[in-house]
Amino acid sequence: MKLYCIGIGPGGAEQMTLRAVRALEQCDCVAGYGLYLDLIEELIEGKTRIQTGMTREVDRCTAARDAAKDGHTVAVVSSGDAGVYGMAGLLFEVCVQDPEIQIEVIPGITAACSGGAVLGAPLTNDFACVSLSDLLTPWEVIEQRLRCAAQGDFCIALYNPASKKRVDHLQRACDILLETLTPETVCGTVRNIGRDGETYTLTTLGALRDMQVDMLTTVFVGNSRTRVINGRMVTPRGYRGV
- Verify that 98 and 116 share a domain, yes or no: no
Chosen domain end from 83, 106, 129: 106
Say whether both 227 and 187 belong to one domain.
yes
Strand order in the sheet with 232-234: 120-121, 232-234, 227-229
Residue 240 lies in a domain: no
DSSP line for 192-215: STTSTT-EEEEEEHHHHTT----T
Mean pLDDT estimate for the chain: 95
Residue 241 scores a pLDDT above 80 = no
User: What are the φ/ψ torsions at residue 168 (nearest 5 degrees)?
Assistant: -110, 10
Looking at the domain assignment, is residue 239 inside a domain?
Answer: no
Task: Check whether residue 129 and residue 157 sit in a common domain.
Answer: yes
Do 90 and 115 share a structural domain?
no
Q: For residues 34 and 124, state if they share a domain.
A: no
Do residues 83 and 136 both lie within one domain?
no
Predicted local distance difference test score (pLDDT) of residue 176: 98
Q: What's the pLDDT at 85?
A: 94
What's the pLDDT band for 33 if we cut at 50, 70, 90?
Answer: very high
pLDDT digit string, tens, across residues 140-177: 999 999 999 999 999 999 999 998 888 899 999 999 99
Same domain, 86 and 117: no
Q: Which of 106, 139, 158 is the last residue of a domain?
A: 106
**Bridging pattern class, strands 217-221 and 155-159:** antiparallel
Are residue 203 and residue 121 in the same domain, yes or no? yes
pLDDT score, position 61: 96
Is residue 218 located within the same domain as residue 121?
yes
Look at residue 241 and tell me if it is in a domain.
Answer: no
Are residues 11 and 93 located together in one domain of the fold?
yes
Those residues with Cβ within 8 angstroms of residue 192's Cβ, 6 or more apart along the chain or in another chain: 198, 199, 216
Residues with Cβ within 8 Å of 141's Cβ and at least 6 positions away in sequence, in order, are: none
Residue 90 lies in a domain: yes
Q: How many domains does the chain have?
A: 2
Which residues are registered as beta bridge partners of 78? 7
In terms of residue numbers, what domain contains 131? 111-234
Minimum mean pLDDT among 2-6, 17-21, 238-242: which range? Answer: 238-242
Predicted confidence (pLDDT) at residue 11 exceeds the cutoff of 80: no
| CATH number of the domain to which 207 belongs | 3.30.950.10
pTM comes to 0.94
Query: Which of 6, 145, 130 lies closest to 64 in space, CA to CA?
Result: 6
Task: Say what the pLDDT of residue 43 is.
Answer: 92
Say if residue 100 is in the same domain as residue 191: no
pLDDT of residue 40: 92
Q: Would you state the pLDDT for residue 13? A: 79
**pLDDT tens digit sequence for 80-116:** 999 999 999 999 999 999 999 999 999 999 999 999 9
97 alpha carbon, distance to own chain's centre: 28
Taking only the tens place, the pLDDT of each residue in 192-222 is 999 889 999 999 999 999 999 999 999 999 9
Look at residue 144 and give its three-state secondary structure.
helix
**Is 242 within the bounds of a domain?**
no
φ and ψ at 207, to 5 degrees?
A: -80, -30
Average pLDDT score over residue span 33-46: 91
